[in-house]
Amino acid sequence: MTGISQEEFIRDFSRAVSTDSAAVFAGAGLSRSSGFVDWKELLREIAVDLKLNIDKETDLVGLAQFHLNERKNRSRLNEKLIEEFTKDAIPTENHRILARLPLVSFWTTNYDKLIEDSIRAAGRNPDVKITQANLAQTRPGSDVVVYKMHGDISQPHEAVLTKDDYERYEVARRLFVENLQGDLVSTTFLFLGFSFTDPNIDYVLSRVRVLLGANQRTHYCILRQPMPPKKGGRSRAEYDYEKRHLELRIDDLKRFAIQTVLVNEYEEITDLLRAISKRAHRRNVFVSASAREYGKFGATRLNDFSRRLGRELIDRGYNLVSGFGQGLSDQVVLGALDGIYKTHKGNDSNRTIIRPFPRVRPGHGDQASSNMKHREDLISQSGAVIFVCGNRDYRGATRTSKGVLEEFRIAKALGRFPIPVGCTGYAAEEVWNEVFRDVDSLFPMKGVKTALRTLGNHAKNDDDLIAAIFKILERVTVD
């Protein structure tokens, strides 16, 4: 089988994501692990009504049409949609990773609300398009467009489900076709959650083939390889058949400029998405900084250093991510904004992600859990984390900031690069000691240790410290 390598896919799709030219087309497989059914399970009772065996059926859209033909209405189909897709479901890690990526759009044939709910949970504002009328309106302040190509559970009677629906699609939902055509030409798609048993895939791909014409750009699809036969399981002949079918599918997808990425298990998809997130966000830098006391640096120098750090992140082409915490964080943000106002290059609104920590009202949740989630969301959208100082007031006394240390643990767990300015003391110094002991595993690339040593040296001036920080950033963000 001739799919492209996972490394090539991660590199190229990450580049599309980081240049605001990537989209995801999600099929039923993305929602299945959240507890929602696939097409076969959705129509299992419908097949019983028709006195048919769902496991023997291959044309599931045709099966839905048979039911409509016999009943002369689709109320039973609508009931099944409501029954199956109004269940409580929790978004998967794949949903959460995708929701944090700066994608241009999501397209989906799914009826559930997991994609848009995940986007909102990530602190972003989706513009959800369910009907053609929605396409004529733009939601103010939206971050990403979600196209519900086949409808939504909120309007089951409008869901694309039967052959009649598919045959009328070009007329009834023509504006979706036109918008899809534009996105296919201007953005790089990842087709995710489709399988050979999903009836939507052939309909979607037929539209892709017609819409793309000569204006083809490379798109990607992730598919699982057939499982080898095991004792007591399926036969060698069944495995060989599936393998041959996959080879033909991969070759056929190339007609649409869709390159296939193969995985052995569906769990590998999460690893691929994590790698894409890490690579796509690598020029985003989270600054973890707080100070009630300023230590050996003193207030003037540490504030000036923090403003300079924020400004130079912008000047050198990086983007600032900040939780806008106590003390120094506001100085870093002010420096970044100063850099933005002086440069005015391109779309400056994407240069900062500034989200103050939410305050949980008494009786409405746990503040510590809320803070943890907030930190994870922000650090997941970053490629590196810079630590400066890190102390705060605990009942009238100055203590090392537990929040800054927590941010270090999160950065390590997510595989982000920690860059502690150890000479600023407190939490940053603790982080520096741990990072320096484990530098080879935290920074597999060469050329970091000397710069890191500078960041722990109290005798170095601000010019030396800034140079060392960006020396490390250059190493970890190299393509």
- Structural domain ending residue among the three candidates 233, 264, 279: 279
Query: What is the per-residue pLDDT for 214?
Result: 59
In this structure, the answer to whether residues 268 and 292 fall within a common structural domain is no
Give residue 285's pLDDT: 96
Look at residue 15 and tell me if it is in a domain.
Answer: yes
Residues 266 and 157 both lie in one domain: yes
Q: Are residues 171 and 200 in the same domain?
A: yes
Residues in the chain: 479
Q: Is the pLDDT of residue 56 over 70?
A: yes
Q: Annotated active-site positions, please?
A: 150
Residues 376 and 393 in one domain: yes
Q: What is the CATH number of the domain that holds 223?
A: 3.40.50.1220
The verdict on 412 and 300 lying in the same domain is yes
Model pLDDT, residue 47: 87
Instruction: Tell which of 246, 279, 312 closes a domain.
Output: 279
Torsion of CA 138, 117, 364, 411, to 10 degrees: -110
pLDDT for the residue 454: 97
| Alpha-carbon span 45 to 69, nearest angstrom | 16
Within this chain, do residues 190 and 310 fall inside the same structural domain, yes or no? no
Q: Look at residue 1 and tell me if it is in a domain.
A: no
CATH number at residue 362: 3.40.50.450
Per-residue confidence band for 169, with pLDDT thresholds at 50, 70 and 90: confident
- Name the pLDDT band for 93 (thresholds 50, 70, 90): very high
Distance CA(175)–CA(179), nearest Å, equals 6
Residues 270 and 293 occupy one common structural domain? no
- Cα Rg, the chain, nearest whole Å: 26
Reply yes or no on whether the pLDDT at 344 is more than 70.
no
Helix pair angle (60-71, 75-85), 10° resolution: 130
Please indicate, yes or no, if residue 65 is contained in any of the structural domains: yes
Q: Look at residue 143 and tell me if it is in a domain.
A: yes
Position 421 scores a pLDDT of: 97
Query: Which of 107, 136, 116, 103 is closest to 26 using CA atoms?
Result: 107
Is residue 274 located within the same domain as residue 287? no
Query: What secondary structure letter does DSSP report for 357?
Result: P
Give 75's pLDDT tier (boundaries 50, 70, 90).
confident
- The arrangement of strands across the sheet holding 22-26 comes to 126-129, 144-148, 105-108, 22-26, 188-192, 219-224, 258-263
154 and 297 share one domain: no
Mean pLDDT over the full length of the chain = 87
Categorize the per-residue pLDDT at 197 as very low, low, confident or very high, splitting at 50, 70 and 90. Answer: low
Does residue 309 sit within a domain? yes
**Domain-terminating residue out of 279, 309, 342:** 279
Rounded distance between C-alpha atoms, residue 479 and residue 98, angstroms: 22
- Find the domain containing 380 and state its range: 283-476
| Same domain assignment for residues 386 and 430 | yes
Average pLDDT of 196-224?
A: 73
E strand or H helix at 192: strand 188-192
Residue with the two structure tokens 């941010």 = 407
What is the number of structural domains in the chain?
2
Q: Are residues 157 and 23 in the same domain?
A: yes
Q: Pick the residue with more confidence: 461 or 368?
A: 461
pLDDT of 226 higher than 70? yes
Which residue in 210, 219, 144 sits closest to 187, CA to CA?
Answer: 219
pLDDT at 76: 83
Do 25 and 77 fall into the same domain?
yes
pLDDT grade, residue 449 (50/70/90)?
A: very high
